[in-house]
């Protein structure tokens, strides 16, 4: 993070633009997934949009020091969503929300895992 001095000698942290775009993509994706899940089944166009958001999150939002916590959390979320969707079959809305979240997190976790493998290979 870059620190800039402002009036009265306060430190203000400025996030890099790349990280900011990834943060907004993550927030937008989760909100969109919850809304689409609550509205019911979503079409192929929405699936493509959610996958693209997941790819953006994986490419732009995860710093090198965040890789392992993200991968562990992402894998747990994927497993819980996949199993939770089958457990909550009586509550269709909850199953739809979990499916939409899976649509975002699977591409993000795959991208971060691939980036991690390349970083390991470089070292």
- Side-chain half-sphere CA neighbours of 119 within 13 A: 11
pLDDT number for residue 15:
53
More confident site: 81 or 2: 81
Instruction: Report CA torsion sign: 38, 41, 44, 48.
Output: positive
Q: What percent of the chain has pLDDT over 90?
A: 27
pLDDT number for residue 1:
52
Q: Work out the pLDDT band at 2, boundaries 50, 70, 90.
A: low
pTM for this model (two decimals)? 0.76
> How does pLDDT run across 3-44, given as a tens digit for each residue?
555 555 555 555 555 567 778 888 999 999 999 989 987 889
pLDDT number for residue 48:
94
Residue 61 CA to its chain's centroid (Å)? 8
From residue 118, how far is each of 28, 64, 90, 112, 113 by CA, in Å?
Answer: 28, 12, 42, 10, 9
pLDDT number for residue 106:
92
pLDDT number for residue 26:
87
Closest-CA residue to 109 (of 63, 80, 67, 48): 67
C-alpha to C-alpha distance for 41 and 116, rounded to whole angstroms = 34
The helix or strand, by DSSP H or E, that contains position 50, with its residue range, turns out to be: helix 44-60
> How does pLDDT run across 48-105, given as a tens digit for each residue?
999 999 999 888 888 888 889 989 988 998 888 878 766 766 778 888 888 888 899 9
Q: Is the pLDDT of residue 111 over 90?
A: yes
């Amino acid at each position: 993070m870059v620190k800039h001095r402002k009036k009265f000698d306060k430190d203000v942290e400025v996030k890099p633009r790349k990280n900011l775009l990834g943060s907004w993509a993550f927030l937008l994706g989760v909100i969109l997934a919850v809304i689409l899940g609550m509205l019911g089944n979503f079409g192929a166009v929405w699936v493509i949009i959610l996958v693209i958001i997941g790819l953006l999150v994986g490419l732009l939002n995860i710093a090198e020091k965040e890789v392992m916590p993200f991968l562990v959390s992402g894998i747990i979320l994927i497993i819980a969503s996949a199993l939770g969707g089958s457990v909550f079959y009586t509550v269709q809305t909850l199953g739809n929300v979990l499916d939409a979240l899976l649509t975002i997190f699977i591409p993000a976790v795959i991208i971060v895992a691939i980036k991690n493998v390349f970083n390991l290979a470089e070292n």
